[in-house]
Amino acid sequence: MPQISQLGESGFVSSQLFWLIIVFALVYFVIGRSMATKVVATVEQRDETVAGDLAAAESARAAADQSEEEWRAQENAAREQARAKLAEARARGAQASEARLAAANAELDAKGAEADARIAAARGAAMSEIDNVAAEAARDIVSRVAGADVDAAEARKAVESVRHGG
Amino acid sequence: MASDPTKIDPMHQFEVQTIAPMFDIGGVPISFTNSAFWMVVTLAVLWLFMLGGMKREVVPGRWQMMVEGFTGFIDKLLKENIGKAGRKYLPYVFSLFMFILFANLIGLLPLGLFAPVSKYVPELGVVTHPFTFTSHFTITGVLAIMSFSIVLIVGFAKHGLKFFSLFVPSGTPLIMKIIIAPIEFISFLFRPFSLGLRLFVAMIAGHILLKVLAGFVIQSSNASFLWGGVVGIPSFVLMVGVSALEVLVAGIQAYVFALLTSLYIHDAEHLH
Q: Which residues form the domain of A28? A: 10-165
d(C-alpha A146, C-alpha A5), whole Å? 194
User: Is residue A125 a part of any domain in this protein?
Assistant: yes
User: Does residue A155 surpass a pLDDT of 90?
Assistant: no
User: Is residue B238 a part of any domain in this protein?
Assistant: yes
Q: What is the pLDDT of residues A10-64, one digit of tens each?
A: 778 888 899 999 999 999 999 999 999 999 998 999 999 999 999 999 999 999 9
Given the DSSP bridges, would you call strands B18-25 and B28-33 parallel, antiparallel or unpaired? Answer: antiparallel
User: Is residue A1 a part of any domain in this protein?
Assistant: no
The residues that bridge with B180 in the sheet, in sequence order, are none
Residue of A nearest to B140 (CA): A20
Amino acid letter, B175 = I
**Taking a C-beta distance cutoff of 8 angstroms, is the pair B53, A41 a contact?**
no
Which residues of chain A lie closer than 8 angstroms to B17, CB-CB?
Answer: none
Phi-psi region of B46 (alpha: psi -120 to 50; beta: other; left: phi over 0): alpha
Q: What is the CA radius of gyration of chain A?
A: 64
d(C-alpha B217, C-alpha B60), whole Å? 45
User: Is residue A4 a part of any domain in this protein?
Assistant: no
Q: Is there a contact between B36 and A17 if contact means CB atoms under 8 Å apart?
A: no
d(C-alpha B109, C-alpha B243), whole Å? 10
Q: Is there a contact between A20 and B33 if contact means CB atoms under 8 Å apart?
A: no
User: Is residue A3 a part of any domain in this protein?
Assistant: no
Which among B248, B217, B255 has a CA at the least distance from the CA of B234?
B217
More confident residue, A11 or A125: A125
Amino acid letter, B110 = P
Full DSSP string of A46-63: HHHHHHHHHHHHHHHHHH
**Taking a C-beta distance cutoff of 8 angstroms, is the pair B15, B207 a contact?**
no
Q: Which residues form the domain of B177? A: 12-270
Q: How many angstroms away from the CA of B31 is the closest CA of chain A?
A: 6
User: Is residue B175 a part of any domain in this protein?
Assistant: yes
Residue of B nearest to A5 (CA): B15
- The residues of A whose Cβ lies within 8 A of any Cβ of B are 1-3, 6-7, 10-21, 23-24, 26-28, 30-33, 35-40, 42-43, 46, 49
Q: Identify from B14, B16, B207 which residue to disrupt to test chain A contact, counting A C-beta atoms within 10 A and taking the largest count.
A: B16
**Taking a C-beta distance cutoff of 8 angstroms, is the pair B36, B131 a contact?**
no
pLDDT at position B1: 39
Which residues of chain A lie closer than 8 angstroms to B136, CB-CB?
Answer: 3, 16
More confident residue, B132 or A142: B132
Which of A146-160, B130-144, B165-179 holds the top average pLDDT?
B130-144
Q: Is there a contact between A21 and B14 if contact means CB atoms under 8 Å apart?
A: no
Q: Is there a contact between B90 and A40 if contact means CB atoms under 8 Å apart?
A: yes
Phi, psi of B121 (to 5 degrees): -120, 85
d(C-alpha A98, C-alpha B179), whole Å? 111
**Taking a C-beta distance cutoff of 8 angstroms, is the pair B52, B66 a contact?**
yes
Q: Is there a contact between A19 and B42 if contact means CB atoms under 8 Å apart?
A: no
User: Does residue B7 surpass a pLDDT of 80?
Assistant: no
Structural domain count, chain B: 1
Q: What is the pLDDT of residues B21-30, one digit of tens each?
A: 888 888 888 8
User: Is residue B180 a part of any domain in this protein?
Assistant: yes
Structural domain count, chain A: 1
pLDDT at position B2: 44
3-state helix, strand, coil in chain A (%, to 5): 95, 0, 5
Instruction: State the average pLDDT over residues B92-118.
Output: 90
Q: Is there a contact between A6 and B15 if contact means CB atoms under 8 Å apart?
A: yes
Q: Is there a contact between B136 and A16 if contact means CB atoms under 8 Å apart?
A: yes
Instruction: State the average pLDDT over residues B223-227.
Output: 86
Which residues of chain B lie closer than 8 angstroms to A18, CB-CB?
Answer: 25, 30, 36
Which of B52-88 are b and which e, b meaning 16 or more Cβ less than 10 Å from the residue's Cβ?
bbeeeeeebeeebeebbebbeebbebbeebbeebbee
d(C-alpha B234, C-alpha A29), whole Å? 46
**Taking a C-beta distance cutoff of 8 angstroms, is the pair B203, B256 a contact?**
no
User: Does residue A164 surpass a pLDDT of 90?
Assistant: no
Which among A151, A104, A37, A82 has a CA at the least distance from the CA of B78?
A37
User: Is residue A2 a part of any domain in this protein?
Assistant: no
User: Is residue A71 a part of any domain in this protein?
Assistant: yes
pLDDT at position B4: 56
**Taking a C-beta distance cutoff of 8 angstroms, is the pair B90, A40 a contact?**
yes
Q: How many angstroms away from the CA of B125 is the closest CA of chain A?
A: 19
Q: Is there a contact between A23 and B42 if contact means CB atoms under 8 Å apart?
A: yes
Which residues of chain A lie closer than 8 angstroms to B19, CB-CB?
Answer: none
Which residues of chain A lie closer than 8 angstroms to B56, CB-CB?
Answer: 38-39, 42
User: Lowest mean pLDDT: which of A17-21, B11-15, B93-97?
Assistant: B11-15
For residue A121, the 8-state DSSP code is H
Residue of B nearest to A19 (CA): B36
d(C-alpha A62, C-alpha A154), whole Å? 113
Residue of A nearest to B22 (CA): A15
Is the ipTM reported for this complex over the cut 0.85?
yes
User: Is residue B2 a part of any domain in this protein?
Assistant: no
pLDDT at position A61: 96
User: Is residue A55 a part of any domain in this protein?
Assistant: yes
Q: Is there a contact between B11 and A35 if contact means CB atoms under 8 Å apart?
A: no
User: Is residue B1 a part of any domain in this protein?
Assistant: no
Which residues of chain A lie closer than 8 angstroms to B200, CB-CB?
Answer: 3
Q: How many angstroms away from the CA of B190 is the closest CA of chain A?
A: 20
d(C-alpha B197, C-alpha B145), whole Å? 11
d(C-alpha B268, C-alpha B174), whole Å? 24
Question: Confidence band (pLDDT; 50, 70, 90) for B103?
Answer: very high
In sign, the C-alpha dihedral spanning B66, B244, B255, A35 is negative
d(C-alpha B259, C-alpha B246), whole Å? 19
Which of A3-35 are b and which e, b meaning 16 or more Cβ less than 10 Å from the residue's Cβ?
beebeeeebbbbbbbbbbeebbebbbebbbbeb
pLDDT at position A101: 95
